[in-house]
């Protein structure tokens, strides 16, 4: 079990680091992951390898998943975290679909088939995918109001050598993830 979790953590770290510049691993043996042939490399100003610390969290019926994740970030003073995996169920969810500003609310009994995201002191960016009783899926940006039905079992990883924050990006006009080494970072405002 520990070996499987360690492998999943390494895989997640590789994905996170690849998304932020392509570095995988720590120390002199780290390697650069090259983009697919024929595709330009993504320009990244920020990257950072870090050790990982894992936490397990179980939410009980009626808990609001997003509010509980925000409380977890505050309680553990997480500066850079990610949702590694999650399973469970909800009775309602608020999701924002791509290209939309408003949230849609869905009600019923849904299985959590995916929950992924980044956790920072100044905000959480999480996407949630749900499966209904017919097997169809729905997913999007997770808002407040996703209420646990039976349980939500969530594994969170912390990158103690980094600090995540959100800043307005001139190119996208959205608050995008900022990745800073912990020693150079300034504290951001607390999660509300």
Is 16 a domain residue?
no
Name the residue with tokens 């956790």.
119
Name the residue with tokens 């309680």.
75
Question: What integer pLDDT is reported at residue 174 of this predicted model?
Answer: 85
Is 4 a domain residue?
no
pLDDT average, residue stretch 78-87: 97
Mean pLDDT of the chain: 82
The answer to whether residue 16 scores a pLDDT higher than 50 is: no
Q: Is the pTM of this model over 0.85?
A: no
Name the residue with tokens 């995540």.
164
The answer to whether residue 42 scores a pLDDT higher than 80 is: no
pLDDT average, residue stretch 47-60: 89
Name the residue with tokens 């079990």.
1
Is 190 a domain residue?
no
The residue among 76 and 9 whose pLDDT is bigger is 76
CA 186 → CA 78, 105, 158, 190, distances in Å? 14, 36, 18, 12
The answer to whether residue 89 scores a pLDDT higher than 70 is: yes
Contacts of 98 (CB under 8 A, 6+ apart): 140
Residue 102 structural domain: 51-184
Residue pair 79/161 in contact by the 8 Å Cβ criterion: no
Is 100 a domain residue?
yes
Name the residue with tokens 């570095």.
23
Is 26 a domain residue?
no
CA–CA gap between residue 145 and residue 70 (Å, rounded): 13
What residues form DSSP beta bridges with 176? 167
- Going by pLDDT thresholds of 50, 70 and 90, the confidence category of residue 184 is low
Q: Please, what sign has the CA dihedral across residues 101, 104, 105, 109?
A: negative
What residues form DSSP beta bridges with 127? 116, 141
Q: How many domains does the chain have?
A: 1
Q: What percent of the chain is predicted at pLDDT more than 70?
A: 70
The residue among 33 and 126 whose pLDDT is bigger is 126
Question: What integer pLDDT is reported at residue 49 of this predicted model?
Answer: 75
Residue pair 20/45 in contact by the 8 Å Cβ criterion: no
Task: Tell how strand 147-158 and strand 81-96 pair up.
Answer: antiparallel
Is 1 a domain residue?
no
Distance spanning both ends of the chain, measured CA to CA: 35
Is 37 a domain residue?
no
Is 141 a domain residue?
yes
Question: What integer pLDDT is reported at residue 33 of this predicted model?
Answer: 41
CATH number of the domain residue 69 falls in = 3.30.1330.80
pLDDT digits (tens, 9 = 90+) for 102-159: 999 999 999 999 999 999 999 999 999 999 999 999 999 999 999 999 999 999 999 9
Question: What integer pLDDT is reported at residue 172 of this predicted model?
Answer: 86
């Amino acid at each position: 079990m520990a070996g499987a979790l360690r492998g999943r953590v390494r895989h997640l770290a590789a994905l996170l680091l690849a998304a932020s510049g392509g570095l995988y691993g720590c120390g002199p043996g780290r390697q650069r992951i090259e983009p697919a042939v024929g595709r330009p490399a993504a320009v990244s100003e920020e990257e950072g390898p870090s050790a990982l610390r894992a936490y397990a969290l179980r939410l009980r019926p009626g808990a609001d998943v997003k509010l509980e994740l925000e409380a977890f970030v505050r309680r553990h003073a997480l500066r850079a975290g990610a949702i590694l995996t999650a399973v469970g169920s909800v009775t309602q969810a608020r999701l924002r679909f791509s290209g939309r500003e408003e949230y849609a609310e869905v009600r019923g009994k849904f299985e959590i088939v995916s929950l992924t995201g980044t956790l920072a002191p100044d905000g959480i960016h999480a996407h949630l995918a749900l499966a209904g009783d017919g097997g169809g899926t729905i997913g999007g940006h997770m808002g407040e109001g996703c209420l646990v039905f039976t349980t939500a079992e969530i594994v969170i990883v912390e990158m103690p050598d980094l600090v995540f924050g959100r800043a307005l990006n001139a190119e996208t006009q959205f608050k995008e993830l900022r990745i800073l080494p912990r020693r150079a970072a300034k504290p951001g405002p607390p999660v509300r």
